[in-house]
Amino acid sequence: MIVDDAPLQTVRSVAALREVVDGWRAQGRSVAFVPTMGALHEGHLDLVREAVRRADQVVASVFVNPTQFAPHEDLGRYPRQEAKDAELLAGAGCRLMYAPSVEEMYPAGATTTISVGGPAEGLEGAFRPQMFGGVALVVAKLFNQVRPDVAVFGEKDWQQLAVIRRMVRDLDFRIEIVGVPTARDGHGLALSSRNAYLDEGQLAIARRLNGVLAEAAARAREGTPLAAVEREAHSAVLKAGFERIDYVAVRDAETLTPFRSGVVEGPARVLAAAWIGTTRLIDNLPV
């Protein structure tokens, strides 16, 4: 691996991005990519550090993607802190921040979309039906713009990771997809940009979700019928103080489909999405 202590560069156009990456390629350097929506936290920096271990140069994108938000969702209030993001990326070893405008990513007249199925169906796909098509579109565009050897994603968005892996396989991208375990605070809460919306009382509630999922995973691992595991976990999430639940489910880890026998028969994840006030949190654990 080539050691490079150059400062972080920021580019905002596809042309400028490609000029830098093409220069690295001409020097024989490998490239890793970490796509983000900004408002970076330690979980994102774990991804960058993993990317640094896997390639000579690292690109991170900071782009709040409008195509994955429905009109009623929090696109407008999604936290944005580009200057701080740049500082954090530089400290983690990233060498290029790609921060395009919406107009750069989606030029006037753009009409192409991506339709996804398989692991995109159900769970998040049922409650946010616009999301995975938007994610697939922006990630495919970013992959074509950056052309990395490896791309690094967090396991907190497990279903998203499964969708991207399927898209890469289906569309023949020559990119290695790496998943990094979810970063958590000292109480087990999955780190998320949306945690910034929570007050102290709400944070205390949010920190109970991981324990509920751990208990559900243990019960599923023991062979408890999954209908009972999911029912018990649903009740426990409400008892913990969450106001409503979109889902608590145990699914096949790769396909995100239910187990037909009603018990775990292979690699699995327990996944949940629940609300505290106007904030929606997701999490998952291996079974």
- Band of residue 73 on the pLDDT scale cut at 50, 70, 90: confident
CA–CA distances in Å: residue 26 to residues 30, 60, 226: 10, 20, 53
In sequence order, what DSSP letters do the residues of 125-185 get, joined into one string?
A: HHHSTTHHHHHHHHHHHHHHHH--SEEEEEGGGHHHHHHHHHHHHHTT---EEEEEPPPB-
**Which of the residues 44, 72, 187, 234 is marked catalytic?**
44
Q: Is 44 a catalytic residue?
A: yes
Q: What percent of the chain has pLDDT over 90?
A: 92
Encode pLDDT of 197-233 as tens digits: 999 999 999 999 999 999 999 999 999 999 999 999 9
pLDDT band at 5 (very low <50, low <70, confident <90, very high): low
Phi, then psi, of 164 in degrees rounded to 5 = -65, -40
pLDDT at 102 over 90: yes
pLDDT score for 26: 98
Host H or E run for residue 21: helix 14-26
- pLDDT value at residue 72: 76
